Structure 1
Amino acid sequence: MSHEMLQTPTGRRRPSDQEDGFPVKPSSSSSGTQIGATPGSNTNGNNNNGDPYIYDGNRSHSFVGRHRKKILVGSVILTLSAVSVLIALLVEKPWDHSSGGNGGNGASWFGGGHHGGAHGGVDGKNSGGTNGDGTVKNGGPPPRFTEKSAVQVSSAVQCNALTPPLDQPFEYGKQPIRGVNLGGWLVLEPFITPSMFEPYISQNVTDEYTLTKLLGKEKSRDYLQKHYATWVTEDTFKRIRDLGLNHVRIPVGFWALGNLAADEPYVPDLSLDYLLQGLKWAAQYGLRAMVEIHGAPGSQNGWNHSGRSGKIRWMNGTPEGEANGKRTIEYIKQLTRLLQGPGMEHVSPMFGLLNEPAIFMLERPPIDKWYKEAFREFRNITGTGKGPWGVLHDGFLGLTEWEGFMPKSDRLAMDVHNYLIFDHNLIRLRRQDQVNFPCDVWSKSMQQSTSKFGPTLVGEFSSATNDCATYLNGIGVGYRWDGSFQPEEDRIKGLPLDEAACQPKLNGQTEGYCSCKEQNRIGYFTPEYRKFLSDFTQTQMDAFEQGLGWFYWNFKTETNALWSYFDGVEQGWIPKDANNRPGGCLALGRPISPYSD
C-alpha cells in the first residue's frame, strides 16, 4: 500500500411524515382560542365566582339563557377555529413556519416554533422539547428533522475574519478547510467513548449494533439520547469557532434515517434530530459542516465505526451486498433531500457520500459503478451547480488510483485519511522522519491528486504516533505498538504476532516506552515529546493544505489526548489559533515545493 494512503484502524473507527409530538400552531382567528384550552372555558377573567345562575330581582335566569347570543357567536367562532386547525393539520405542517417560538420575530435558530420535541410527549418519557428561544430544555430531544427544516443564516455570522460569512460562498481551493470531526457523537466508537461500552463488554458488546441489540429498543433510545445531549453541546461549536476553525465534519449512520430491516437493532430517527441541532449551532457560530454517512447497511468495511464490526455485507459480490449497496443510495438520496432545506446550502456545503468503504478488500469495478450511480442520484436531486460538494473516499487504494476518475464532474472531491500508525513501517520511523514525512510525501500526494483527479481533502488525521488508545483497533484486538495486535482473521489462521512497533531492542531500555499504559498517560509526556507532537501536527496541517484542507480526528475523546483536538490545545501541541501556527514545514526548514509532472 502506498504511503500517501494508509489503512485506517480496524476499530477506529426517516424522518417520518407524521406530526407526532408537535403541537398545532395556535389559530390566528379573532377568538384567541389556544390549542389546549378547555373548550368553552371563559378566558376574560370574569368568571362570576363560578355561579351557574345570575339572579335578577324575582326571576332567575340560566347562564345559557342570559348569554344566548354571546354563546351563539362564540360557537361560530370556535367552529371556525376548529376548521382552521383542521386545515393546518391537513395542509400546513408545524415545521413550515419560519418564525420561532419567541414571538415570531425570526430570531430563533429553530425554524418552526416547535415546543414539543421530536419524541417529547409521545412516549411519555421525553417531554422536554424546546424553550421559546429554540434551546433544548429538560434533556428532551431537538425538533424533528424534516425536508423542510429551516436553518436561519444571518449575513453577519462569521466564524473569523479570514472566513467569509455564511451567506457568501466558501472558496474551496483558495481558502483552506480547517476543521474537526464530531466523531463518537451520532455514531458510537469504543475508543472515543469507552465508558459507554465497558459495562457491557463481558456480554460481547463491541459496536453500536451489539450494544443496541443487547439493550433493546426503549433502553437504547434513553441511553443514546443522554449521550447525544451531552457529548456535543452548543459550547462545543463555540469552542471550535474560538480556536480559529471554520468547518466541522459530522458523521451519521444510515439508521438515523429509519426504514430499518428486522435484524437491524439500531435506534432510528433520533440522531437525525440531533444532526439538525448541530447544523443550527454551526450556523449560529458561522461554521460550515460536512455531513457524511459513516455507516452503511451491512457495513462497508467491517469495522466498529461503521456500526457493525466483522463481515463486510456491502457490495461484497453477493445478492445481499448488492441490496445493501442499493439501500445505501436510497439513504444518500434521502439525506441529500433533507440538506436542501431552507438555509442548508449555507451551513452544509459539503456532503460525504460514504465513509471509508474498504475497497481494497472488495472488487473495484462494482464500486466504481456504485460511486458513479450514487453521485448521479445525488446531483439529480441538487441540480447542476447547486447543492453541496459531493465527496468520495479513496477506499484505501491510494490517491494515484483515482487519477482521471469521473472527469469534469460537478463539484466532486476526494477524501483521504492519513495516519502513520496503522502502517507497520511508518509507525517505526524515527520521530524526526515522522515529522518530515508530511512535508516530503503527503504534501506532494495532495498536490498530485488535485492535479490528476481534482479537489482533494483530508477528512481524518491526528497527532497520534502510536496505536495505544484504548480500543482503537477494536475491543480485544491489541496494539501494534506493544506487539499485542492480532486481528481476528490472523488469530483464526494461527498467525504469529508481529514484532512490537516500539522496537524494544532499540528502545526497551527507556522505562515505559513500550508500554501502552504509559504512552496513554499525559504525565509520561516529556517536553521533548510534546515538541515532537507539535511539529508533527503542524507539518500535517501544512501538507494537507496543499489540497482543500483538513479535518482533525477527533474534537475530543474520553481517555486519549493524542486523538483530541481540545486536549492538544490545552496541552500545547496544537495551536490555540488554527490560522496562526508558529510551526510547520517552512519553520522546520523543509519548504514544500510545488508539484510538477
Structure 2
Amino acid sequence: MSREMLQTPHGATNNARPHDQGDGFPVKPLSSGTQVGSSTGTRGDSANGSGNGTRSFVGRHRKKILVGTVVLTLSAVGVLIALLVKRPWNHNDESSSSFFGGHRGGTHGDGNGNNAAGNNNGSPPRFDNKSVVQISSSVRCNAHTPPLDQPFEYGKQPIRGVNLGGWLVLEPFITPSMFEPYISQNVTDEYTLTKLLGKEKAKEYLQKHYSTWVTEDTFKRIRDLGLNHVRIPVGFWALGGLTEDEPYVPDLSLDYLLQGLKWAAQYGLRAMVEIHGAPGSQNGWNHSGRSGEIRWMNGTPEGEINGERTIEYIKQLTRLLQGPGMEHVSPMFGLLNEPAIFMLERPPIDKWYKNAFKEFRNITGAGKGPWGVLHDGFLGLTEWEGFMPNSDRLALDVHNYLIFDHNLIRLSRNDQVNFPCDVWSKNMQKSTAAFGPTLVGEFSSATNDCATYLNGIGVGYRWDGSFQPEEDRIKGLPLDEAACQPKLHGAEDGYCSCKEQNRIGYYTPEYRKFLSDFTQTQMDAFEQGMGWFYWNFKTETNALWSYFDGAEQGWIPKDANNRPGGCLSLGRSIEPYSG
C-alpha cells in the first residue's frame, strides 16, 4: 500500500460525464483535448524533476560508459536467456506453454505445454476440482448487489470494498509481529525476511501466516458489513519462475489466492486481483516485496528485463483468472500496484502500460475477461487525460491519503472532514470525464501517520516530528517540524503523541465522531467515480487502518449501503461535474 499524495483541486474542463451504456463504462471516451490541471504535493513535485541520478549520469557521460553499457547489455541478455530456459514463459498466446499450461479462451494444457483433451477436461494442475470456483445463481452478498452470475454494472453501482493487505504480500506496518524478531538482523521487507530465514523455514513461517491472517470468516465478515468487493494483492513470486537472487517463497501464496477466490464466490463477493510486487520492485517500498532501489523500468538493461518479466507474470495470472468459474468472481484485474512513475521516465512507462494491457486483452479477447486497472503512478489524475482512449474496459486507480502530504496532515479537523467533499469528489468527476472510469483502490480513516512502521522501519512519523527518511539522515538534514499542532488539532492531552494515537482506548467520543465524518465523506467522494476499496481489512496495531476495528468501534458504518453520515449530513453537498 502506499502512500499517495493528494489530488488537489483543479479548474474544470470537460463538459460532460460519459453516458452510461451497458455496464456503465463500456469504453473510455476520447480525449477532449483540454487541460484539466496538474496535481501537487511532496511526491507530485518530484514527478516534475529531472528524473533519477542514474539517468542524469548517463546523459552527461554517455561516451565514457559506452563500453560498460555494451557489457551490461550482453550480460542482461544472458540473464534473460537463462530465465527463459528455466521457466518457459508463453510468448505465443494461442498454443505455447505457461506456468499453468497455457489456458486461453476455454482451452487448457496439461501443465507440460500440451493441449490436453483428457485428464480433468484438459485442465492443468491448478485447475483441478479443488481450484474450480463453483457459482450458484442465487449467491449475492447483499440486496443492493446482483448475484455473481449477473454483471456488476460498473459506473452505475459503486464498488464498496476492502483490501486483503498484509496477507499474500507482507507489510511491516500491518503485521509488525512478523518482522520484530528479525529487525536487529536488518530485516525490513519480505525479501530480507525470506533471505534470512531460508526457503524451508520461510515457507513454514509464511504458510502459518497465510492460513490464519485470512480465513473463511474474513469473507463472511466482509459480506456482513454490506461490502461487495475485495482487492487481493499478490506478489509476482506467487507464480514461481524466480531467479537465483530472489529468495521469496514461490508458488505457495497462489494456492491461498485460489482459496480466497473460492471463499469470495461462496459469499457473493467480487474480487480485484492485482500484482502488488513486480520483479526488481516497481517503487522501492517494502510493500512491493523489496525496499530500496527501483530495479523495474529504471532505464537500465536489468530494469527492462524486469519490465518484460512483469508482463509475463501478468499474462500468467490473467490465464489463471480465465479458468473455470473465475469470470464471475474476478471481474477486475490490477496490472501493477503503485509503480513510482514520478521517479522514473514516463514515456517508457506509457509504452509499458500499453503493451501490458495489449497482452492482457490478447488473452481475454475483446469484450471478455476482467476490467484492466492501471495505477496513476503518483502523477495525479489529470496527467492521464486522454491516455489510451477507446480502450476495452480500462479503469484508472488512485490512492488517496491526506497523511503523506506535509500540508494536508496539518489541516484542522474541520478542513480534513470537508476536503473529500470539496476536492476529491471533483477530482473523481473530472477524471471520469477526461480519462474514463476511475476508482480509489486505497484510502483509510487515518489522519496521522502514527501506525507502527507505516513509513518504514526506523523512519519515524510526521505527526510527532520524528520522521526522517534514510536519505535525509545520511545528508545530516534536520527533522521536520511536527505536523501535529495543538491549536489546530485539539487540546486533548496526548493528542500529538503517536503512542496515544495507536491506542483505541485514547479515542474520545469527539474524536470518534471526527473519524466517522472523515471516513464517510471519503466514501461519498469516491463514489463520484467507480467507488472504493478501504485499506485495510485489519491490522495488528492501529485501528485507523482496520475496517473491522472501525466498524466495531463506531466510526465505520456497519452497513456500507446505509451510511448515516457523509457530505450531505454535514451540509457539504457534492455538485455534479459540469466541465
TM over 0.5: yes
Counterpart position of 1:589: 571
Specify which of 510, 529, 535 is matched with residue 553 of structure 1: 535
Distance 1:238 1:508, change over 3 A: closer
Q: Does structure 1 conserve the Cα–Cα contact (< 8 Å) formed by 2:547 and 2:556? A: yes
Q: Does structure 2 conserve the Cα–Cα contact (< 8 Å) formed by 1:97 and 1:113? A: no
Counterpart position of 1:369: 351
Counterpart position of 1:275: 257
In structure 2, what is the Cα distance between the partners aligned to 1:242 and 1:508? 35
Specify which of 317, 331, 343 is matched with residue 349 of structure 1: 331
In structure 1, what is the Cα distance between the partners aligned to 2:469 and 2:120? 50
Distance 1:226 1:404, change over 3 A: same
Counterpart position of 2:318: 336
Letter paired with 1:162: H
SS of 1:237's equivalent? helix
In structure 2, what is the Cα distance between the partners aligned to 1:556 and 1:235? 13
- Residues 498-577 of structure 1: matches in 2 within 5 Å? 498-503=480-485, 510-577=492-559
Q: State whether structure 2 residue 172 is matched by structure 1 residue 190.
A: yes
Structure 1 unaligned spans of 5+: 19-89, 99-109, 115-148
Distance 1:384 1:508, change over 3 A: closer
Any idea what the Cα deviations from partners look like across 1:276-304, whole Å, max 9, x if unmatched? 00000000000000000000000000000
- Residues 98-497 of structure 1: matches in 2 within 5 Å? 112-113=128-129, 149-497=131-479
Counterpart position of 2:7: 3
Count of aligned residue pairs for this structure pair: 478
Structure 2 unaligned spans of 5+: 9-38, 45-86, 88-97, 102-115
Q: Does structure 1 conserve the Cα–Cα contact (< 8 Å) formed by 2:410 and 2:485? A: yes
Distance 1:589 1:168, change over 3 A: same
TM-score relative to the length of structure 2: 0.80
Specify which of 546, 555, 561 is matched with residue 579 of structure 1: 561
Give, in angstroms, the shift of residue 150 of structure 1.
1.9
Give, in angstroms, the shift of residue 112 of structure 1.
3.6
Greater relative CO (CA pairs within 8 A, separation 6+): 2
Deviates more, 1:497-506 or 1:271-280: 497-506
Q: Does structure 2 conserve the Cα–Cα contact (< 8 Å) formed by 1:468 and 1:481? A: yes
In structure 1, what is the Cα distance between the partners aligned to 2:142 and 2:117? 42
Any idea what the Cα deviations from partners look like across 1:391-425, whole Å, max 9, x if unmatched? 00000000000000000000000000000000000
Letter paired with 2:254: L
In structure 1, what is the Cα distance between the partners aligned to 2:488 and 2:438? 38
SS of 1:551's equivalent? strand
Distance 1:7 1:213, change over 3 A: farther
In structure 2, what is the Cα distance between the partners aligned to 1:17 and 1:587? 51
In structure 2, what is the Cα distance between the partners aligned to 1:157 and 1:96? 28
Q: Does structure 1 conserve the Cα–Cα contact (< 8 Å) formed by 2:127 and 2:324? A: no
Letter paired with 1:287: L
Q: Does structure 2 conserve the Cα–Cα contact (< 8 Å) formed by 1:95 and 1:112? A: no
Distance 1:453 1:91, change over 3 A: closer
Give, in angstroms, the shift of residue 113 of structure 1.
4.2
Any idea what the Cα deviations from partners look like across 1:3-62, whole Å, max 9, x if unmatched? 3476799xxxx88569xxxxxxxxxxxxxxxxxxxxxxxxxxxxxxxxxxxxxxxxxxxx
Any idea what the Cα deviations from partners look like across 1:518-559, whole Å, max 9, x if unmatched? 111111101000000000000000000000000000000011
Letter paired with 1:587: S
Give, in angstroms, the shift of residue 492 of structure 1.
1.6
Letter paired with 1:297: P
Distance 1:368 1:206, change over 3 A: same
Any idea what the Cα deviations from partners look like across 1:109-168, whole Å, max 9, x if unmatched? x97445xxxxxxxxxxxxxxxxxxxxxxxxxxxxxxxxxx42111100010111000000
Deviates more, 1:553-562 or 1:508-517: 508-517
Q: Larger radius of gyration, structure 1 or 2?
A: 1
Give, in angstroms, the shift of residue 579 of structure 1.
0.1
SS of 2:281's equivalent? coil
In structure 1, what is the Cα distance between the partners aligned to 2:489 and 2:559? 35
Task: Provide the identity percentage.
Answer: 87
Q: Does structure 2 conserve the Cα–Cα contact (< 8 Å) formed by 1:95 and 1:111? A: no
Counterpart position of 1:141: none
In structure 1, what is the Cα distance between the partners aligned to 2:231 and 2:562? 21
Any idea what the Cα deviations from partners look like across 1:412-469, whole Å, max 9, x if unmatched? 0000000000000000000010000000000000000000000000000000000000
SS of 2:373's equivalent? strand
In structure 2, what is the Cα distance between the partners aligned to 1:343 and 1:284? 12
